[in-house]
């Protein structure tokens, strides 16, 4: 029997109440996805498994913070997993990134008002990424899925780090406009 989003919501709710059987069911239904996240970002099986265990410890401890009106259960879990891995990566990277922090944000695009965030037709991010140049869209995806920071993205795409930051900032702004238009 397929597990639905509602089943996961049930498991989450019961986990928040300290129900260990529900926690086991939650694990059973989501471990593959979350292991996929830790493996993709940490790129080491041993580390990925270690991280997975730490992540589920957090899930047990923080299940009561899950808000069904803000995120689906799987989105919430993936966000926890992703952030956990990114924290690990950040901790081992050199902190000084040598970037000009006062980098100007280009002002050549329409800027929606705050209200637009919550209103109107929302485009799926894939459609909006399709409107970016291929390598710029790829940089956004790669940052999200592989957890690459600016230096790694710059190396991969063969551009200076400040260029990469300009790319990504512009891309994010265009994405925001697209997503809220």
Partner 1 sequence: MSVGSEQTGEERGDEILVAEYVLGVLSASEHARVARMIADSSELQQLERFWQQRLSDLDEGFEAVPAPSAAWQGIETRLFQQRTQASAGASFWDSLGFWRGLATGTAAVAVVAFGLLVLQPRTLEPEPAGTQLVASLTAEGSDVSYYALYDGETGTLRLTGLSGEPVAERDFELWVIHEGEPAVSLGVIPVSQRLSVELPAEDQAKVGDGTVFAVTLEPLGGAPEGVATGPIVAAGGVTRI
Residue whose CB is less far from partner 1, 1 or 121: 1
User: Residue 36 interacts with partner 1 (CB under 8 A)?
Assistant: yes
Give the footprint of partner 1 on residues 119-158 (CB under 8 A): 122, 124-126, 140-141, 143-145, 147-150, 153
Give the footprint of partner 1 on residues 62-91 (CB under 8 A): 64, 68-71, 74-75, 78-79, 82-83, 86, 90-91
Q: How many CA atoms lie within 13 A of 42 on its CB side?
A: 24
User: Residue 7 interacts with partner 1 (CB under 8 A)?
Assistant: yes
Given 100, 109, 130, 155, the residue binding partner 1 (CB under 8 A): 109
**Integer Cα distance of 99 and 155 in angstroms:** 15
**Integer Cα distance of 149 and 91 in angstroms:** 12
Residue whose CB is less far from partner 1, 107 or 121: 107
Residue whose CB is less far from partner 1, 75 or 163: 75
CA proximity to 176, closest of 95, 116, 100, 90: 116
Helix ranges (DSSP H) in the chain: 5-16, 20-42, 45-62, 73-92, 125-130, 134-146, 150-157, 161-180
Residue with tokens 């705050």: 114
Count of positions on this chain that bind partner 1 (CB under 8 A): 85
User: Residue 107 interacts with partner 1 (CB under 8 A)?
Assistant: yes
């Amino acid at each position: 029997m397929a597990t639905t989003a509602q089943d996961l919501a049930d498991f989450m709710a019961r986990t928040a109440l300290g129900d260990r059987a529900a926690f086991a069911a939650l694990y059973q239904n989501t471990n593959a996805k979350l292991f996929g996240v830790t493996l993709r970002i940490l790129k080491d099986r041993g580390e990925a498994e270690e991280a997975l265990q730490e992540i589920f410890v957090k899930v047990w401890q923080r299940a009561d913070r899950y808000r069904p009106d803000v995120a689906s259960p799987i989105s919430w879990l993936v966000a926890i997993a992703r952030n956990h891995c990114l924290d690990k990566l950040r901790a081992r990277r050199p902190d000084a990134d040598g970037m000009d922090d006062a980098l100007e944000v280009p002002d050549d695009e329409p800027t929606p008002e705050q209200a637009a965030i919550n209103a109107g037709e929302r485009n799926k991010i894939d459609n909006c990424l399709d409107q970016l140049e291929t390598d710029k869209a790829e940089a956004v995806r790669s940052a999200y899925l592989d957890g690459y920071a600016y230096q790694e993205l710059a190396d991969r795409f063969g551009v200076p780090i400040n260029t990469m930051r300009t790319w990504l900032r512009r891309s994010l702004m265009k994405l925001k406009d697209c997503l809220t238009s």
